Amino acid sequence: MIIDLAEMEKRIAQHVALLLEESIGDDILTVTQAAVLLQLHANTIRGMAARGELPGHKFGDSWRFRRSALLNHVSESRHGRNWDD
């Protein structure tokens, strides 16, 4: 039996994303909440959103983010990248 590890990893990631979405919902987050979720500084979140590097929407002077969109973005960004550096 041949196991395609890349396909297995993809399926596990999709399953985890579904479980996370079911358990925590698709909340709308502020910059501060997004920063806590992604373990980044709030200014980094603002800059990344302004450059289009994070999925978010600006309402007046405030950014808002969907939790599921941020988690999906991070999951997709991790492929091919070593986050332990």
Q: In what order do the strands lie in the sheet with 57-59?
A: 28-29, 62-66, 57-59
pTM exceeding 0.85: no
The pair of structure tokens assigned to 62 is 């405030």
Residue 55, domain CATH: 1.10.10.10
Assigned domain for 1 exists: no
Mean per-residue pLDDT for 64-78? 89
Query: Is residue 17 assigned to a domain?
Result: no
- Tens digits of residue pLDDT in 14-42: 777 666 665 555 689 999 999 999 999 99
Flag whether 58 is in a domain: yes
Domain assignment of residue 55, yes or no:
yes
- For 34, the domain range is 26-78
Number of domains in the chain: 1
Tokens in use for 9?
Answer: 């990893």
In a domain, 73, yes or no: yes
